[in-house]
């Protein structure tokens, strides 16, 4: 695992939070909520991909 995953997640979080603040100030709370949910899904997909690689590495180590 690399530090790049943490930096990517932080970057997505930063962009999403700024855009949510802009949308909230503009009176578009529904779009801000959808944007924050999309940001969470994007970060979860990145984490699941890394977990898949970790599980396959563990399987290859133990010969499963």
Residue pLDDT tens, the chain, 64 long: 579 989 999 999 999 999 999 999 999 999 999 999 999 999 999 999 999 989 999 999 998 7
The confidence score (pLDDT) of residue 1 equals 58
> If you ran DSSP here, which 8-state letter would residue 26 be given?
T
Q: List, in order, residues 6 or more apart from 33 with CB less than 8 Å away.
A: none
For the entire predicted model, the pTM comes to 0.78
């Amino acid at each position: 695992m690399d530090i790049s995953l943490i930096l990517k997640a932080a970057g997505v979080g930063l962009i999403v939070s700024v855009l949510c603040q802009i949308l909230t100030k503009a009176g578009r709370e529904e779009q801000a909520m959808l944007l924050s949910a999309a940001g969470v899904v994007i970060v979860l997909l990145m984490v699941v991909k890394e977990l898949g690689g970790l599980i396959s590495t563990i399987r290859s180590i133990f010969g499963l």
